[in-house]
Amino acid sequence: MPDWKQIVHKNLRALGVCSPEFTEELAGHLEDSYEALLREGVPAEVAFHRTMRQIKGRRRDWLELNFVKEELMTGLTRMNGFIRKVALPGLLTTAASALVSWVLIRVGIWPKVILMPNREFQMFLALSPWWWGMLPFCGVLGALLSRRNGGSRLQCIAAATAPGTVIGAILLLEFPLGFIYQGLVNHQWDFNLLEALGLFLLSFSVIPAAFLLLGAGVSEVSAKKFDRIAQ
């Protein structure tokens, strides 16, 4: 019995790149075709050549082209879904929260900075109650847009909390790098940096994300209420 999986893998290289599942599925098809021919009394060698015709020459090109096209479309559909349901609403939330922060600073409302006592270098906690107070509205905007674009509950939450998540990710990436750099260049492992990371995360990521999440929650509850009324 020919090794159809191996044959498909060898002959349809483009499919191997796409997915091993396609290879196995097509191998199964060829195996069934080959066995059906054998059952009809066709000699094994002829049956093999007839089966191979399905993946040779122009047919192979068509098969590869169609599969690659389908794969590409699947990828684009997924990407479009992510952009519409998470990335764009997340960008809207981020832009709205940045705008609010800018307006507050323009009108003279600065974050309240609390210096941490008894530290070798200045460490602070930034409290921005006015900004935080406005963040639920930004969260509502992102969650509503995500929901309107067909986003799931998780995608709505991701879109609404995007600014906090992005800042958190940047801090989590930046501080360990700084910590390692200091250790390698200055040969001094400064553990105060870890404490500073905690304070920054709290001020600019965790607390804002909690307020944004509040907005996502409000949007979820109001959407459910609206759905119930609509029914």
Partner 1 sequence: MPLVNAQIKRGSAELAVLALLAERPLHGYEIAKQIEAQTGGVLRFDMASLYPMLHRLERKSWVKAEWQTLPNGRRRRCYRLTASGRKQIAPLRAEWRAFFQALQSVTGFQNA
> Does 34 sit near partner 1 (CB under 8 A)?
no
Closest CB 43 distance from partner 1, rounded Å = 21
Residue by residue, DSSP assigns 161-206 as: THHHHHHHHHHHHHHHHHHHHHHHHT----THHHHHHHHHHIIIII
C-beta closer to partner 1: residue 60 or 123: 60
User: Residue 29 burial by CB count (10 A; 0-12/13-18/19+): exposed, middle or buried?
Assistant: middle
The single-letter code of the amino acid at 15 is L
Rounded CA gap, 89 and 156, in Å? 8
Q: Which of residues 10-29 bind partner 1 (CB under 8 A)?
A: 21-22, 24-26, 28-29
- CA distances to 2, 11, 50, 51, 52 from 47, rounded to whole Å, are 11, 18, 5, 6, 8
Q: How many residues bind partner 1 (CB under 8 A)?
A: 23
Q: Which of residues 55-84 bind partner 1 (CB under 8 A)?
A: 55, 59, 62-63, 66-67, 69-70, 73-74, 77
Closest CB 14 distance from partner 1, rounded Å = 12
Residue 11 has what DSSP assignment? Answer: H
Query: Which residue shows structure tokens 């067909």?
Result: 150
CB 185 within 8 A of CB 113: no
Closest CB 59 distance from partner 1, rounded Å = 6
C-beta closer to partner 1: residue 48 or 124: 48
Closest CB 36 distance from partner 1, rounded Å = 8
Residues that bind partner 1 (CB under 8 A): 21-22, 24-26, 28-29, 31-33, 36, 54-55, 59, 62-63, 66-67, 69-70, 73-74, 77
